[in-house]
A and B are shown apart, each in its own frame.
Chain A
């Protein structure tokens, strides 16, 4: 019996608006505790929410980028629960009438493209920050008090929910990378996990390959990187397969990972199904996105990373195309003339290692350098690439600069090498043409690599055939 994983993702993205979702406090990191609060985000009696128009716009923009249908009539709902980081004891979110529904994100891969359904994308507000005092590393268990900072409370969040459409841990990782890049290129979020502006939970279940049943799933929370998530998904998939294969049943559980430690095993809990008592938010009126707004946002969409990957995959292989786009080098790739694979490979390898900013590079000069790369020593290429971001960089400088091409300089050395190796000279003249490389190497060693290989080659051939 073979099994396949059934994976779904729930992703939260911080919108990088200047102000919070329902009040005009500035969203700012690394400032004094409770210094970016007001009656609204502190939930003082009598406070009322006023939506951030930019956040609404950016959510629609994201929905369009994910191929969603934008709702004609969207509503905010209250999600009621008690927790110290939830000042109103309800979160203003969206329930059955979200802003964006029924989208898809095409994830390229070696096996071809796969389509991941986006069930919905909706707008809500983030909670405050709890700090648990008096226990190891700030974990909840064993704390003596909880300290609360409301600076983060009310930051706009978009929640994106996929269908159970991912079939491998690696695919999930690639989906997250592509989603992250899409969000960043839209200019609506920094989407950095370390800063907390991108968070996600994973739902995992397994089923016999090829079937379409949906079995019990477990939820993985607090994963702190895409790579870590991929490993965790694989482990959980194996665990579930093991259970089924030994005749057991998978129980519905939540696995809480420790964001501070890669190795700590997750805490398992069977969380009580919460009754959130959703009802439409009476302090807010519905959103009916005007057609002109939606049309303008759709027209303003740039060519998104997924689309660029698909386009480039026609002239390169999938992985190389995907890597170029994910690394942000595809724009430069498209401007550098020359053999496509050669350009792509250099950009992803030697150029990447040089750490030069793609915007600083003159694409034509870089193209010349790439074309000539086999004719210059490795170190020289590295040097040249490192300098390729300087203003007025020319490839010519590195192709000729420092390389002795003057025959009057090189000829005595060539003569000396040939004199010192009479045996090899005779062998070469006797037919062992491969020995040319030996002679070139000897000359280069004498010249400490600073001889123009083409000129050396010509001199040697001339003298050896004389």
Chain B
């Protein structure tokens, strides 16, 4: 009997290698779990029949040849790519096969998956609450035992934050280490595909399968060193920085702060050198910077959804009318807001004050982080200021929703990697611990994450599903 709630990907590979289980049996087990629980959770938008490898779920912005890919939007309903994203090919080459496509905020714009054009996903820990976003479907699938692991995408925190809210492990890689070819674009200079898994070792295994330069993506580079699957269970020699502004930001719930502070203490116990540090402007200006850069790039990336070559088309008397009707019918509110915001930030007369200035703030953020890394190997903080919030709680107020990303955004603006691991519960809901490193420091993050994971002993299976 395969316990999909507990099985890690590493264990699944082991079972298959030893001939104890076949891949079709694995897929069947997950599909059965999906049949049982996904009617409620709605983590998946569709499942497929592809049982040849270790099962994996992809967020629905990963192009999968012949399999509908919507990016959570009605403007792409029915769109079937004629090519695979590079990460999809690399997963297949590493012995995996597709289980299904998971739900997401439309065009990756959101922090709760409530912006999906196809209905929200529910948190397996509490179905009245959100799983986070925009990779909420992938997070819920892994946490809910509906996939051994999954790919999500992270622009402002969309892998780390849902991982935090669902009690699983999520990595946002160094910008440029994972190909974006075939990934429906939101903000080109920020988007990265990230592994979402039950364990840190699984995360390293999946990252190893997908990372590395892709000739189809001019913004990718080779990894300077191979990915190491972590073994050590201590943190000796590691210098851990605690940025004041990230750990004392407005809106951090007391239960979250408590769990994170305990984990920081645990770092000391495991042999790390822990010290306070500061990111004076990165946190204060990070959100404003992100909500100028990302919508600006998005306004341009989403302009191709015009009804000409694919996707939804609403007819008009002339092509301009067709564009306007198609885009008004096809996009939800959040993409519309961000497209308009972005177009405004780039428009004549406003570019310097908005987009231009935001790109300079980015330089400041990068420099501030680089300065702290002269004295510390990693920085730590809560991943999200809150545990999972209730459906509908923030969906009417865009600004309130944006604040969910206040802790994940700053390091993202600098292109830095970040790992979120579950570090405890608050009121029965998972709390995420964020580890941030300099560029190409994934091995350090995995090592630290794994040691903490072993020491914390967090049970990734939601209480109510046990």
Contacts and interface: CB of A to CB of B under 8 A. Distances in A.
Interface in B70-91: 71, 76, 79, 81-83, 85
Interface string B40-51: 000000000000
Given A44-B310, A46-B185, A48-B180, A82 B303 contact: yes
Interface stretch (A221-229, A282-290, A407-415, A428-436): A282-290
Interface in B207-235: 215-219
Contacts of A277: 299-300, 343, 346-348, 351
Nearest to A90: B300
A423 interface: no
Interface string A39-62: 100111111111100000000000
Contacts of A51: 218
B200 to A, nearest CB: 28
Scoring B81, B83, B303, B310 by chain A CB atoms within 10 A of each residue's CB, the highest score goes to B303
B246 interface: no
B85 A48 contact: no
Given A87-B308, A89-B306, A283-B188, A78 B180 contact: no
Given A80-B300, A279-B355, A285 B185 contact: no
A282 B303 contact: no
Given A48-B180, A48-B181, A285 B219 contact: yes
Contacts of A389: none
Contacts of B85: 46
Interface string B329-364: 000000000000001001110010001000000000
Nearest to A273: B348
Contacts of B76: 45
Nearest to A22: B218
A88 interface: yes
A88 B306 CA distance: 9
B309 A43 contact: yes
A35 interface: no
B71 A45 contact: yes
A44 B300 contact: no
Contacts of A282: 187-189, 219, 297
Scoring A42, A51, A279 by chain B CB atoms within 10 A of each residue's CB, the highest score goes to A279
B186 to A, nearest CB: 11
Given A82-B323, A88-B304, A45 B81 contact: yes
Given A89-B303, A277-B300, A283-B218, 11 more contacts: A44-B81, A44-B309, A45-B69, A46-B63, A46-B184, A48-B218, A50-B217, A51-B218, A80-B300, A88-B304, A283-B188
Interface string B292-327: 000011011001101011100000000110010000
A110 to B, nearest CB: 45
Contact of A78 (B71, B189, B218, B300): B300
A272 to B, nearest CB: 12
Contacts of A146: 319
Nearest to B183: A46
8 contacts: A39-B82, A46-B181, A46-B182, A46-B185, A80-B299, A87-B304, A87-B308, A285-B218
A84 interface: yes
Given A45-B71, A46-B181, A48-B180, A279 B346 contact: yes
B438 to A, nearest CB: 20
A386 interface: no
Contact of A45 (B185, B319, B348): B185
A119 B387 CA distance: 58
Contacts of A82: 303, 306, 320, 323
Contacts, number: 101
A278 B351 CA distance: 9
A148 interface: yes
A87 B181 contact: no
Interface string A7-49: 0000000000000000000000000000000010011111111
Scoring B69, B79, B182 by chain A CB atoms within 10 A of each residue's CB, the highest score goes to B182
A212 interface: no
A111 interface: no
A132 to B, nearest CB: 11
Interface in B153-171: none
A45 B306 contact: no
Contacts of B304: 43, 45, 87-89
A275 interface: yes
Listed from nearest, the 3 A-B pairs whose CB atoms lie closest are A89-B303, A282-B188, A277-B346
Interface residues of B, number: 43
Contacts of B189: 282
A288 to B, nearest CB: 14
A434 to B, nearest CB: 80
Contacts of B296: 279
B98 to A, nearest CB: 16
A84 B180 contact: no
A39 B306 CA distance: 16
Nearest to B76: A45
A49 B184 CA distance: 14
Contacts of B219: 48, 282-285
Nearest to B319: A84
A279 to B, nearest CB: 6
Nearest to B293: A282
Given A45-B63, A80-B303, A279-B351, A284 B185 contact: no
Interface string A57-97: 00000000000000000000010101010011110000000
A22 to B, nearest CB: 9
Interface in B231-260: none
Contacts of B319: 84, 146
A87 B351 CA distance: 24
A91 to B, nearest CB: 11
Given A277-B300, A279-B300, A50 B216 contact: yes
Nearest to B71: A45
Scoring A44, A48, A50 by chain B CB atoms within 10 A of each residue's CB, the highest score goes to A48
Contacts of A284: 218-219
B218 A50 contact: yes
Contacts of A84: 308, 319
Contacts of A39: 81-83, 182
Given A50-B215, A78-B300, A82-B303, A42 B309 contact: yes
Given A82-B323, A283-B219, A44 B351 contact: no
Interface in A122-137: none
A40 B347 CA distance: 26
Nearest to B305: A45
A252 B185 CA distance: 39
Interface string B49-76: 0000000000001010000010100001
A90 B308 contact: no
Contacts of B218: 48-51, 283-285
A161 B10 CA distance: 60
Contacts of B297: 279, 282
A338 B63 CA distance: 71
A283 B297 CA distance: 10
Contacts of B188: 282-283
Contacts of B346: 80, 277-279
A44 B347 contact: no
A144 to B, nearest CB: 10
Nearest to A145: B319
Contacts of B355: 279
Interface string A250-281: 00000000000000000000000001011100
A273 to B, nearest CB: 8
